Amino acid sequence: MKKKAIFFDRDGVLNKSIKKKGKPFAPTSYSKFYIYKNLEKKIDKLRKKKYLLYVVTNQPDFNKKSKIELNKMHQKLMKKFKFNKIFCSHDKNNFSKNKKPRTGLIRHLLKSKSIDLSKSFVVGDRWRDVDFAYNLKCKSIFIDRKYSEKLNNKPDYICKSTSQAINIILNYE
């Protein structure tokens, strides 16, 4: 039987983004990596509802050298939230197949046809996440962190925090 999944974005969803002039940026070092509080139990509830839990993140600014820092961040996320997998793209080309909003990064997962996308969600804080959901034909939950940038597509749901986004999923069905 096909399973339902949740694709979480990382920065601004699981951990704080660094805001500069109204735009969000990924923390560049582990010491600046702050995970939002009180999400463990909520994410556990999603697991109990039989969702597969993935992170899909674009990290174009990390090169080979700085990847050690990035790995530390992802180890921490895995330890805390026990995701099924973290998919991370380092592509700098905005039109790359492997970068959100395109879906190449999770192509193997999609090929396996094990996921019912119509019952799955993308949770994110930027237009790329909403468009990623649109390309996957998943439902989109947009966390509005009041950045100075516009959306391309209309999200299915809009909320103000990750905790609210999870509530939307828990109340769905």
Binding-site ranges for Mg ion (CB under 5 A): 9, 11-12, 125
Contacts with 51 (C-beta within 8 Å, 6 or more apart), sequence order? 3, 4, 5, 6, 120, 169
Smallest separation, CB 2 to Mg ion (Å): 27
Instruction: Supply the minimum distance, in Å, between the C-beta of residue 122 and Mg ion.
Output: 11
Backbone angles phi, psi at 88, to 5 degrees: -130, 125
State the Cα–Cα distance between residues 13 and 113, nearest whole angstrom: 26
Give the Cα separation of 139 and 156 in Å (integer). Answer: 6
For residues 96 and 119, which CB has a smaller minimum distance to Mg ion in the complex? 96
Smallest gap, in angstroms, from Cβ of residue 165 to Mg ion? 12
Minimum CB separation of residue 173 from Mg ion in Å reads 26
Least distance in angstroms from the C-beta of 26 to Mg ion: 8
For residues 113 and 96, the answer to whether their CB atoms sit within 8 Å is: no
In this structure, the number of other CB atoms found within 10 A of the CB of residue 101 comes to 21
Nearer of residues 2 and 34 to Mg ion, judged by Cβ:
34
Instruction: Write down the residue that tokens 């380092």 correspond to.
Output: 90
Residue with the shortest CB distance to Mg ion: 12
Q: How many CB atoms lie within 10 A of CB 40?
A: 12
